[in-house]
Every structure is written in C-alpha cells, then in structure tokens.
A and B are shown apart, each in its own frame.
Chain A
Amino acid sequence: SQQGEEDPQALSIQEGENATMNCSYKTSINNLQWYRQNSGRGLVHLILIRSNEREKHSGRLRVTLDTSKKSSSLLITASRAADTASYFCATTVMTTDSWGKLQFGAGTQVVVTP
C-alpha cells in the first residue's frame, strides 16, 4: 500500500509565485525525503529531513515535518519555469528484518508558466 500521499495532485502557478505541496503518511518514519522528476527523466533527490527535525532549507526549497500529524510540506519559493516537474515524497519504512526501504507517494505535478 502507498505510504506517502501528496496533495495536491497537480499545481499550476506563474513564475515568481511560491508553490506548496503536502505529503501525508501513515506509519512512523525514520526520515522523509523529497525528490523531483522532470518529464522523461529519473528522480533527483532534493532534501532529506529526519524524524527529529522540524524544518530544513536548501536554496529556494523549504521542507517542514510534523510527526504528530504525520505530514510534511515542500515549499518552492520564487518559482521558475525550470521547476516544472513532478515532486515526490518518500518515507523510510523498516522491513521485518530491519532493512529500510523507501515508499513513494504518487507525486504532485507542478507546472510553472513564464
């Protein structure tokens, strides 16, 4: 079953605006990661936030994590056309033999128009 679910499924904004997308998950996690996927390409890691962290920044990206609500948000500030992509959250779920594996949500498709 899907661990992370992104909201909204799609987001259309203009250049310069901020884009916010949310991720909710079901079970306890060790950490949460955000990835970007440009059309026809592989996923690119954006940011990792650990379960004991509440906020993390990387350039124009800001990620928050609220473990009590089992949710995370990704904010892209001052968006650019090049930010057009799908964004996925991924949570680490421990397997029965203690190997972690990533579970991805279905992604938020972001379109930034010039």
Chain B
Amino acid sequence: DTAVSQTPKYLVTQMGNDKSIKCEQNLGHDTMYWYKQDSKKFLKIMFSYNNKELIINETVPNRFSPKSPDKAHLNLHINSLELGDSAVYFCASSPTLSGGAYEQYFGPGTRLTVT
C-alpha cells in the first residue's frame, strides 16, 4: 500500500494556465506538507497543515493555494503558472507537527514543467 501518493506524477503545461496537484496519505497522520525541489535539488517547505488547519505558510506567491478537505488529503492549486514554477513538488506527512520531532514520509513527487 502506498503511504503518501500524489497525482499526477508528471504535469506539462503552458504559462498562464491553472493546475492542481493532489496528495493523499493513508498513515493516519495529522500533519501534511508541500515542498518544492528546484533543479539544484534544494528542497524548501511551502505549506504545512495540521488537522486541516494551515500552520506554516512560507513566502510563497499567492498564486499557490493549498486546500485540505480532510486530514488525509492536501491539494495544491497553482494559478497563472510561470516558467519559474517548474520544479518537482513533494507532498509529505508526519504524525504531528511537534517541533519536527518526527520523521516525515514523502510522496513520489510531481514534476511540473511550464513551457
């Protein structure tokens, strides 16, 4: 069974389009995250939700809007896509957001290419 799954795995789209990435975890975790990994493999947190509540919101353009319909799902919607949004986006989950004291479980990633 896949612990953290993301769809789609690959996403190729044109500038200006709106797209969504979905994430689901079946681990029963309270906390979910979105990360962006750039071409140099640098991984940066974007958002974190704890029990459907937004906890961490890094300095991400407001074109990015996360949504957590329940604690097992965290989706990422991106409006007006730009070339610089091209990256691999990872969803992750952890039991709680308790000072980062727990390991995080990562999904397989969604490679977004904006042309």
Q: Which residues of A contact B (CB under 8 A)?
A: 2, 30-31, 33, 35, 37, 40-45, 48, 86, 88, 92-95, 98-104, 106-107, 109
Q: Which of B13-21, B39-47, B66-74 contacts A (4 or more CB under 8 A)?
A: B39-47
In the complex, per-residue mask of B15-44: 1 if CB is within 8 Å of any chain A CB, else 0? 000000000000000000000000011111
Q: Are B43 and A104 in contact, CB atoms less than 8 angstroms apart? A: yes
Complex: chain B residue closest to A30, CB-CB:
B99
B43 to A99, Cβ gap below 8 A? no
B90 touches A102 (CB 8 A): no
Which of A41, A43, A104, A106 is most buried by chain B, counting CB atoms within 10 A of its CB?
Answer: A43
Known: A40-B109, A92-B100, A98-B99. 5 other contacts (CB 8 A): A33-B100, A37-B41, A92-B99, A94-B99, A106-B42
Cα of A3 to Cα of B113 in the assembled complex, Å: 27
Is the beta-carbon distance between B104 and A2 smaller than 8 angstroms?
no
Chain B interface residues (CB < 8 Å from chain A): 4, 40-45, 48, 50, 55-56, 90, 92, 97-101, 103-109
Cβ B98 vs Cβ A102 within 8 A: no
Contact of A102 among B42, B104, B105, B108 (CB under 8 A): B104
Kindly state the separation between the CA atoms of A94 and B45 in the bound complex, as whole angstroms: 13
Given A95-B56, A99-B55: A45 in contact with B104 (beta carbons within 8 A)? yes
Other-chain residue from A30, A106, A107 in contact with B100 (beta carbon distance below 8 A) = A30
B29 to chain A, nearest CB (A): 13
Closest residue to B48 on the A side, CB-wise?
A101
**Contact B98–A100 (Cβ < 8 Å):** yes
